Structure 1
Amino acid sequence: MAGFLALDQVDLALLGALSEHPRAGDLELSRLTDVARATVASRLRRMGEAGVIADWDPTIDVAAAGFEVQAFVTLEISQGALDEVADHLRDIPQVLSASVTTGSGDVLCQVATRSHPELQATLVRIDQSSSVVRSTSVMVLSVLVEPRVLPLLASADPAPSRRAPAYRG
């Protein structure tokens, strides 16, 4: 399967250490993973260039920032109106994400607001697009499993390590 970067145990160890210590530099990651500093730097650069490490932004908890009212909104949209709906959703700051889906809905949005009246206003604003045929929303009561990636990566068969074998003289 082309188009993806096969991750080995060293990559997974670096991603795990980086996840646990997001402010760690190459030297600290080297110490944490028992991998040479130059290897750390080249692996992080390679994973960054391949898009495996998508960004270096901090993870922001919107609830802790005052946006405790959260919901998922499923949109049914007019045929061929995906670009128009995407532009409309990008103009609404309360829309955290929007994904094209299969099933009865066409788009699934995650929204966050400070209050129920603001959520209602956001839902009305989403529905103001002439391309939105119907929307259905469900409130988030609590988060059962936090967003995560490392268990998925660790569950896959890792690629063979590209780490040079230790010299044993």
Structure 2
Amino acid sequence: MRQKLADAADRRILQVLQREGRISNAELAERVGLSASPCLRRVRRMEEAGIIQGYAARVDPAVEGWAIRALVIIRLSRQHEDEILMFEDAVRSWDEVAECHLVTGTPDYVLKVLARGLEDYEQFVKHKIARLKCVASIETSFIMSTVK
């Protein structure tokens, strides 16, 4: 069973940590209106419960040479277990896929894909996604900028 937040103080802690994961405990405590020790206990409790799943650095994809970011909508030919497993196993092995989400509605999956350029993206689609027999359709929207 998934752990729940204790109260509004936990929510405030999470809001700050989501924006600033490297904030010191003293600064975090001050921002959320707690003293340092209770704040640290709450953070540790949420880490142990799996509410806080980790801390990461967000890296500009362009620094790694990824000039193109795309949202790719995938529809499978059938939603049978073998095809779902085939698709998900393939996606896990592709470096170009930064995120993969199983979604409700008409598409089955939405991928966030990174590529070095349009030619690389085209090769990714032709030589990886389109070769999967379980994929019925591929629709791409290129990300122009990120607002939030």
The answer, yes or no, to whether TM exceeds 0.5 is yes
Displacement of 1:66: 3.0
Which stretch of the first structure deviates more once superposed, 107-116 or 97-106? 97-106
1:72-151 superposed matches below 5 A: 72-77=71-76, 78-80=78-80, 81-124=83-126, 125-144=128-147, 146=148
Work out the CA distance in 1 between the residues paired with 2:62 and 2:68: 8
Amino acid at match of 1:72: L
Amino acid at match of 1:142: S
Displacement of 1:32: 3.2
- Show the counterpart of 1:33: 32
- Show the counterpart of 1:44: 43
Number of matched pairs = 144
List structure 1 segments (4+ residues) > 6 angstroms apart after TM superposition.
Answer: none
Work out the CA distance in 2 between the residues paired with 1:79 and 1:20: 37
Work out the CA distance in 2 between the residues paired with 1:10 and 1:64: 37
Displacement of 1:118: 0.9
Deviations 1:113-156 (A, max 9, x none): 11111111111211111211221112112223x2xxxxxxxxxx
* Percent of residue pairs bearing the same amino acid type: 22
Q: Which structure 1 residue ranges, 5 or more long, are not aligned?
A: 147-169
Work out the CA distance in 1 between the residues paired with 2:37 and 2:112: 40
User: Is contact 2:68-2:116 (8 Å) kept?
Assistant: yes
Q: What is the aligned-residue RMSD (CA, Å)?
A: 2.1
Q: Which structure 2 residue ranges, 5 or more long, are not aligned?
A: none
Higher helix share: 2
1:14-29 superposed matches below 5 A: 14-29=13-28
